[in-house]
Amino acid sequence: MKFATKAIHAGQEPDPTTGAVMTPIYQTSTYWQKSPGDHKGFEYSRGTNPTRVALEACMAALENANHGLAFSSGMGATDAVMKLLAPGDEVITGNDLYGGSYRIFTKVYAKYGIKFHFIDLSKPENILPYINDKTKLVWIETPTNPTMQIVDIEGVGKITKERNLLLAVDNTFASPYLQSPMDLGADIVMHSVTKYIAGHSDVIMGALLVNDAQLYKNLWFIYNACGATPGPQDAFLVLRGIKTLHLRMKAHCENGATVAHFLKKHPRVDKIYWPGFEDHPNHDIAKKQMRDFGGMVSFTLKDADLQDTFKVAASFKVFTLAESLGGVESLINHPVSMTHGSIPKEEREKVGVTDNLLRLSVGVEDIEDLIADLEQALK
């Protein structure tokens, strides 16, 4: 079954009771049992709910995975992966990372005795000096947030497989439409479903997708025991959003490419981060492991300080100044003061997250309106 067909049909059958084509919202906390333990597969909605089960099956199909788990947020999904670890374990991850991931790693799990190595992942072999008998997990984003670094998933996967380490890939920026980490060696794929998968800026949700049955059981235990699971209304909204994922991503990619090329020629723009450019670091890897280059574009303003950057960010009329990304509407974000504020200044500046950096989530509006808005704001 091809991607578009899976997006519309995977995990979803007409409701056997009424014939409803759309998966119903099973707004219930508990389920009838004929006798103790004799039920229809559902006992309590923290653990399983029919609407959520349909969504999990659909997301697993999109990521070519055997199992899916939906969480109440992307951070809830990340938290569950960290709970696979024990005090003394070590994690290797990138030096350009979503601020929320950095925060939970350093402020929550580090104090429980888990050690994190934040390194340059531009080459897979860069992880080798950090691997020891305490290493349990490699966690990567690609493209990274916000400087669009590209990590070779297959190259890292070969190293982790040889050493029996877990490889988790945050696939939020690419979406399953553009990138399939499971096919490249990932053991766990994580999504902030809030973003491209849901696609309409009306849901907070996360997901984990896995192939290994025992890993799924371990994560399901954490999922059920700790309870960071979403309600059926949100699951319904995401199922609805997924049905147009392939259409939306095509438009995001087309508009993103046009915006990136416009910015590259603009005299007020200094650096630009978009993996579709041939001079973007690891462009060849992006071309190999991605089906297109996405709708995320970051850039720095030439000779601008923080106040100048704030002024530009507040001058847009079509782009909305807001956190998050991946919705149909275009957003502009200032990472230093918004999504990446929890990362120390000296750490974020090492990888280019500077005061004059802006990040665009290019939506699906008419491209002429987006270019005109960029032109007037940059003035």
Q: Which of 170, 187, 355, 373 is catalytic?
A: 170
Q: Which of 98, 102, 109, 177 is catalytic?
A: 98
- Are 256 and 70 in contact by the 8 Å Cβ rule? The answer is no
Block residue for tokens 């340059």: 120
How many whole angstroms separate alpha carbon 365 and alpha carbon 112?
46
How many whole angstroms separate alpha carbon 195 and alpha carbon 322?
13
Residues in the chain: 379
- Are 357 and 338 in contact by the 8 Å Cβ rule? The answer is no
- Are 317 and 187 in contact by the 8 Å Cβ rule? The answer is no
How many whole angstroms separate alpha carbon 88 and alpha carbon 75?
22
* Residue 152 annotated as catalytic: no
Residue among 208, 146, 141, 127 at smallest CA distance from 360: 146
- Are 148 and 273 in contact by the 8 Å Cβ rule? The answer is yes
Q: Which of 6, 52, 195, 348 is catalytic?
A: 195
* Residue 46 annotated as catalytic: yes
Tokens encoding 204: 């907070």
How many whole angstroms separate alpha carbon 106 and alpha carbon 239?
33
Residue among 263, 267, 257, 249 at smallest CA distance from 326: 249
For residue 181, what is the DSSP state?
G
How many whole angstroms separate alpha carbon 246 and alpha carbon 197?
10
* Residue 170 annotated as catalytic: yes
Burial per residue of 60-70, b for 16 or more beta-carbon CB atoms within 10 angstroms, e otherwise: bbbbbbebbbb
The alpha carbon dihedral of 261, 263, 265, 269 has a sign of: negative
Provide the residue type at 205 as one letter: M
Residue 95 CB-half CA count within 13 A: 16
> For the chain, first and last CA: distance in Å?
48
The residues carrying an active-site annotation are 46, 98, 170, 195
